[in-house]
Structure 1
Amino acid sequence: MITVDSLGSSAFKREHGLRYAYVQGSMVRGIASARMVVAMGRAGFLGFLGTGARSVEAVESAILEIKAGLAEGQPWGVNLLANAATPQAEMAAVDLLLRHDVPRIEASAYLQVTAPLVKYRAKGLRRGPGGRILFDRLVMAKLSRPEVAAQFLAPAPERLVAALLADGAITAEEAELVRAVPMADDLCVEADSGGHTDRGSLPSLLPPMLQLRDELAARHGHPKPVRIGAAGGIGTPAAAAAAFVLGADFVLTGSINQCTVEADTSEAVKDLLQQIDVQDTGHCPSGSLFELGAEIQVVKKGLFFPARASKLYDLWRLHGSLDEIDARTRRQIQEKYFRRSFEAVWDETRSFYAEVAPEEIARAEANPKHKMALIFRWYFVHSMRLAEQGDTEQKVDYQIHCGPALGAFNHWVKGSGLEDWRKRHVAEIALRLMEATAALLEERFAALSAPAPAAAASDA
């Protein structure tokens, strides 16, 4: 019999101290709040704190809130976001996580393994009874590409280990042991999701990842198998059931959790999210990876942000400076999009980079195209603040990361007690979804295994 307890990997649940093979993923700007992570941990689920676009001080405060809200051994973790532009900020984030003994991280947006990530992985590694390697901290990597997965299924790159050892960031024992284990304990294969996305299809992505895991485990002789989970598009029992049938060891949800009581975003955003359907999201350029042309998936229903973001990217791509853009378009951007002058935006941008990356200011002053990119990227940050604050005057500029999973979820709960977001609590949603998934699988497999009806006798 298929039950909620039989779903997913027992090893995954055992190592993380979970009752259910279900994870609440992080969301940018702390939408996946400390309150959300605590609610999940108390109910036997694993939740990750969102840290993207949050200050070190805000993240530290949230970590302390989580530690105060959960008992010893209850599961929780923190997102660690790749930061190629300012690697020193990524290292500062890792040092914060180590200082507060954060037990696990959700590593996201990584295209390659970095020194800060290796440092987190290595710290605390030691030999136990019988020479078994003991871990103080666990790493879950959220990704969508096999070439990235291969890096997390292999030991840390030797050059990074050697550099950390030479700098005294890790001990000789930690360096030795991190060479013998994969970079991750778990991989979460992310299909078409809210936020940054490669628009992947889970049935196409998950089987090759499982095969790759098995091949690299055999090659490297890892002491324990890396578990493979599924994310992206999971908002209904049918979607979760499909993931488990494909071989997922766990499922991870994102979009459905930001339309809940515990989500740290405005009521205006939640009111909007409660109404969206599966066709109400779309893709547009990313602000954080603007020059690379990377895409994010956002809500498009009733909002101008996706079209305006795409126009800004096209203007940047086709022009070498702001002065090359025609006067009418420049006026439209300043009056309609920004509601302030380019000069005012640059003053704010320059003040920000003066603190975090002064070299960006010099680069922008020497390169008009780069300066244009930084000014345009301001709009992406601003649009997220508008949504977070629930600014009703500029509602059309809200940037809301979301995938179609929430539209599907809205259909599933229509007419039930969960239709109103004010009654949606993340732990209750998780439990109902897992229970319904188990019931659906039991029903479907029972139907598939039922004997075929006898053929009707033909007329003489």
Structure 2
Amino acid sequence: MTGSAVHSDAEGIHGVLSGLELPCHLVRNGGRLGMCHEPPPGAQVLATAGAMPPQALGDSGFLRRHDVRLPYMAGAMAGGIAGTRLVAALSRAGCLAVFGAAGLPERRIDAALGELARELGDGPYACNLIHSPMAPHLERTVVDLCLRHRVRCVEASAFVQVTPELVRYRLAGLRLDRTGGVCAGHRVIGKVSREETAEMFLRPAPEELVQLLRQQGLVTAEQAELARRVPLSDAVTVESDSGGHTDRRPLAVLLPTLARLRARVAREYGDGMPPVHLGAAGGIGSPHAVAAAFALGADYVVSGSVNQATVEADTSAAVKRLLAGAGIADCVMAPAADMFEQGIQVQVLGRGTMFAARAGLLLRLYHDYGGLDELPEAERRRLEDRVLRRSLERTWEETAAYLKEYHPDWLARAERDPKHKMAMVFRWYLGMTSRWAVSGDADRATDWQVWCGPAMGAFNAWTAGTALAAPGNRRAADVAGHLMRGAAYLTRTGHLRATGVRIPAACADYRLPPP
């Protein structure tokens, strides 16, 4: 296709629109309307849309700060589902991906971060740092490992308050550059769904925590001083209706609200404070969603559920097949393993598994009874036969052994508090269900806990009948590339429509490769 060729047919027009790296023009040439990249001599230009490569979406400052080619991030999936293969594949494709450290033992995190450091060097990647109010030593362990392996970025998730470990990581990377400015060697990306938690990431670290770390010798006097000149985070990801932990807030409401909050906080500090980028997460499963997020003002987008169904995700092939068959209404809410007692829920795949119903039974029993010994015989049999598939005594033995090694204080409490003991036993089931899914344990298939949001169904609908319909063809870098190119295509056609250009129906959407 030559640049000056004018195309009036649907295929030719689609080809011009798809050339995102070049401008496109609607022209009248010899009395005929058509589209081209370069108007031929004598043609009348009626409308123009500039080049729209995918990297032009979002904010170029995000690309520079994180050394990526695309304003695209793959969020962490706990339990190592977002493992080293996924992170490395996206890093090499110029995207920022987060290793899913939450729920993993220290030795696995240590090995994974060492592998990423060797394979990627200074390439872009991050590690998840999840807030652990009931076990703060877990935060300390992850921060220690990130510092040991020189991880330059963490995704801070589920934080409802600023903790010393989060501040320690941020401050340990601060230094003056040659111009007297502050260089933040350790980048923090906060993941939030509420204004109050967003604000703590938009402001500098709390002075009392900074001074505490200074007194403990964990940061230098210079770092403590520089902490006043930078926000706690470099970016804030606005999480709407996502898989796993979610407040299920609509992105179209939440993102503009937090954008206004960011602007207000920025005005307080003036031009001397580095800008905080704003990302959009939850529901990012189609080019339409990506384009909409950028139209709302996002500086970058964050995908989640769709990555769990990719070749590189560290979960079982059977789970990937389940995910590839999910629709947008196939997600349900179920009790969360890590905050079971508080009644916190996570969004999971409902199709093909009984996990949500069985986890709901556990929550009901926990609310209705004071301990395992209070359970009526019928409830006990139902619990042992249909959910645990083992005796309560055996389940407690395994649970106690785990607690003795990793949480001895929880074990001591469980031995004197029947209600807490019940919670620990029920947590055994909730924790194991995600492991059975990852390993593809066929004997426990009806118990699989698969974190998933409606973005998965949107992705499946978009890719139906194309090469990406089959799980074996869903490579993470290809998924990212097509989502971003599709969003750029829709943004370009949107610009043309805004000037009054009628786009033929056959050219309305970006096209995926055929099967």
TM (norm. structure 2) is: 0.86
Q: Which amino acid in structure 2 is aligned with residue 121 of structure 1?
A: R
Q: Tell me, what secondary structure is at the counterpart of 1:131?
A: coil
Structure 1 match to 2:100? 50
Whole-Å Cα distance in 2 between the matches of residues 320 and 284 of structure 1?
Answer: 21
Deviation, structure 1 residue 420: 0.6
CA 1:451–1:358: 2 relative to 1, 3 Å: closer
2:275 pairs, out of 202, 207, 225, with 225
2:437 pairs, out of 363, 370, 387, with 387
Written as runs of structure 1 = structure 2, the 5 A alignment for 1:232-247 is 232-247=282-297
Whole-Å Cα distance in 2 between the matches of residues 124 and 260 of structure 1?
Answer: 33
1:121 pairs, out of 170, 180, 198, with 170
Structure 2 match to 1:286? 336
Contact 1:17 1:73 in 2 (8 A): no
Whole-Å Cα distance in 2 between the matches of residues 91 and 179 of structure 1?
Answer: 23
CA 1:396–1:172: 2 relative to 1, 3 Å: same
Work out the number of aligned pairs and report it. Answer: 451
Structure 1 match to 2:376? 326
Structure 1 match to 2:209? 160
Whole-Å Cα distance in 1 between the matches of residues 322 and 82 of structure 2?
Answer: 18
Q: Which amino acid in structure 2 is aligned with residue 21 of structure 1?
A: P
Contact 1:35 1:66 in 2 (8 A): no
Whole-Å Cα distance in 2 between the matches of residues 64 and 88 of structure 1?
Answer: 21
Structure 1 match to 2:39? none
Asked if residue 368 in structure 1 is aligned to residue 368 in structure 2, the reply is no
Asked if residue 94 in structure 1 is aligned to residue 168 in structure 2, the reply is no
Written as runs of structure 1 = structure 2, the 5 A alignment for 1:199-214 is 199-214=248-263
Deviation, structure 1 residue 344: 1.2
Deviation, structure 1 residue 451: 6.7
Written as runs of structure 1 = structure 2, the 5 A alignment for 1:139-218 is 139-218=188-267
Structure 2 match to 1:337? 387
Whole-Å Cα distance in 2 between the matches of residues 451 and 407 of structure 1?
Answer: 31
Structure 2 match to 1:457? none
Whole-Å Cα distance in 1 between the matches of residues 178 and 119 of structure 2?
Answer: 33
Whole-Å Cα distance in 2 between the matches of residues 189 and 127 of structure 1?
Answer: 30
Deviation, structure 1 residue 214: 1.1
Q: Which amino acid in structure 2 is aligned with residue 51 of structure 1?
A: A
Q: Tell me, what secondary structure is at the counterpart of 1:23?
A: strand
Deviation, structure 1 residue 362: 1.5
Unaligned runs of 5+ residues in structure 2 are 1-49, 503-515
Deviation, structure 1 residue 5: 2.3
Q: Tell me, what secondary structure is at the counterpart of 1:193?
A: coil
Whole-Å Cα distance in 2 between the matches of residues 185 and 326 of structure 1?
Answer: 53
Whole-Å Cα distance in 2 between the matches of residues 450 and 14 of structure 1?
Answer: 35
Q: Which amino acid in structure 1 is aligned with residue 260 of structure 2?
A: Q
1:312 pairs, out of 362, 368, 378, with 362
Deviation, structure 1 residue 291: 1.0
TM (norm. structure 1) is: 0.96
Q: Tell me, what secondary structure is at the counterpart of 1:30?
A: coil
Structure 1 residue runs of 4 or more that deviate by more than 4 Å after TM superposition: none
Q: Tell me, what secondary structure is at the counterpart of 2:426?
A: helix
Q: Which has the larger radius of gyration?
A: 2
1:104 pairs, out of 148, 153, 164, with 153
CA 1:352–1:451: 2 relative to 1, 3 Å: closer
Contact 1:81 1:109 in 2 (8 A): yes
Whole-Å Cα distance in 1 between the matches of residues 213 and 406 of structure 2?
Answer: 23
TM-superposition CA deviations, 1:334-391 (whole Å, max 9, x none)? 1211111111111111111112221111111111111111111111111111101101
Deviation, structure 1 residue 129: 2.4
Unaligned runs of 5+ residues in structure 1 are 453-460
TM-superposition CA deviations, 1:255-274 (whole Å, max 9, x none)? 00000110000111111111
TM-superposition CA deviations, 1:227-268 (whole Å, max 9, x none)? 000000010000011100000000000000000110000111
Structure 2 match to 1:134? 183
Deviation, structure 1 residue 82: 0.9
Percent identity between matched residues is 44
Whole-Å Cα distance in 1 between the matches of residues 359 and 386 of structure 2?
Answer: 13
Q: Which amino acid in structure 2 is aligned with residue 432 of structure 1?
A: H
Whole-Å Cα distance in 2 between the matches of residues 5 and 157 of structure 1?
Answer: 35
Deviation, structure 1 residue 448: 2.2
Deviation, structure 1 residue 166: 1.2
Deviation, structure 1 residue 68: 2.2
Range moving further from structure 2, 233-242 or 177-186: 177-186
Structure 2 match to 1:432? 482
Asked if residue 65 in structure 1 is aligned to residue 115 in structure 2, the reply is yes
Q: Which amino acid in structure 1 is aligned with residue 402 of structure 2?
A: F
Q: Tell me, what secondary structure is at the counterpart of 1:265?
A: coil
Asked if residue 266 in structure 1 is aligned to residue 316 in structure 2, the reply is yes
2:500 pairs, out of 428, 450, 455, with 450
Contact 2:331 2:347 in 1 (8 A): yes
Whole-Å Cα distance in 2 between the matches of residues 178 and 313 of structure 1?
Answer: 43
Deviation, structure 1 residue 415: 0.8
Deviation, structure 1 residue 107: 0.6
Deviation, structure 1 residue 302: 2.1
Whole-Å Cα distance in 2 between the matches of residues 198 and 191 of structure 1?
Answer: 7
How much is the aligned-residue C-alpha RMSD, in angstroms? 1.2
Contact 1:23 1:253 in 2 (8 A): yes
Contact 1:77 1:103 in 2 (8 A): yes
Whole-Å Cα distance in 1 between the matches of residues 490 and 138 of structure 2?
Answer: 45
Whole-Å Cα distance in 2 between the matches of residues 441 and 451 of structure 1?
Answer: 14
Contact 2:154 2:188 in 1 (8 A): yes
TM-superposition CA deviations, 1:127-152 (whole Å, max 9, x none)? 12232001111000111111000111
Q: Tell me, what secondary structure is at the counterpart of 1:252?
A: strand
